[in-house]
Amino acid sequence: MPTKTVKVPEQFVPLFEQAEQYVDSLFKEFKRDPSHGMIHVGKQRYVLVRGEGLYIALFDELSKTFGEDQADEFIYNMARIIGKADSIAFSEERGITDPTTKLSTGPVHFAYAGWAFVDIYPSSRPSPDQNYFLQYQHPNTFESEVFARRGSKAKKPICLFSAGYSAGWCSAAYGVEVHAREMLCTARGDGKCEFIMAPFDKLDGYAKQHYGK
């Protein structure tokens, strides 16, 4: 069932409606001052970055120097670090202490900040322990949009910022180290960009259970 910024199972709707209020109140404090080269959202300094420069140009240069696998790892880990930091900063600024509320603000902030829309599946079990599991879709990641402009087809899933950032936010919110893996990707020719998230040592099992691979 959709709220304004995220689609979630019906039982989670009240929680995410509350999360939208937290995030919306923050982004209503958006202030841009070009005369001083500053953008602030609430008390935080933000920087607008062109999506193609953030992903395509960075990936190409890293691939030339380190190879594609190392470039993938660098981008994912960088996004995960940013996601963790944003999760902590947001919760502190809004005075949020409940882990479930911290977690629910993540997908909403994700949408407000222009990363993607989030569709969380009923199969998800977000729990603050090793049983944590999330299965979700990002219908319009910025990576898949900018990659499509190349007019080429990827050999593997490419939404590394989306996977890393969301995993970082959720790790910080629940205090459980989780990782995300993109299983389907429109840039590769799949019908959607679909992800799973769980503790690292559980990812392979969930990938086989839900995707047979």
**CA distances (Å), 54 to each of 75, 118, 161, 171, 190, in order?**
10, 20, 9, 23, 23
pTM over 0.85: yes
Question: Is 169 a member of any domain?
Answer: yes
Question: Is 171 a member of any domain?
Answer: yes
Question: Is 1 a member of any domain?
Answer: no
Question: Is 54 a member of any domain?
Answer: yes
Contact (CB, 8 A) for 165 and 195? no
Question: Is 201 a member of any domain?
Answer: yes
- Indicate the pLDDT class of residue 2, thresholds 50, 70 and 90: low
Give 41-97 pLDDT, tens digit per residue.
Answer: 988 899 888 888 888 899 999 999 999 999 999 999 999 999 999 999 999 988 999
pLDDT at 77: 96
Q: What is the CATH number of the domain that holds 81?
A: 3.30.1380.20
pLDDT at 56: 87
Please tell me the distance from the alpha carbon of residue 108 to that of residue 17, in angstroms, as a whole number: 9
Question: Is 96 a member of any domain?
Answer: yes
Q: Which domain holds residue 145?
A: 6-211
Q: How many CB atoms lie within 10 A of CB 198?
A: 24
The answer on pLDDT for 1 being more than 80 is: no
Question: Is 108 a member of any domain?
Answer: yes
Give 153-191 pLDDT, tens digit per residue.
Answer: 899 999 999 999 999 999 999 999 999 999 999 999 999
Give 4-45 pLDDT, tens digit per residue.
Answer: 789 999 888 988 999 999 898 888 999 999 999 999 998 889
Q: How many domains does the chain have?
A: 1
**CA distances (Å), 158 to each of 68, 129, 150, 173, in order?**
11, 28, 13, 25
Of 92, 77, 74, 110, which is closest to residue 193 (Cα–Cα)?
110
Question: Is 43 a member of any domain?
Answer: yes
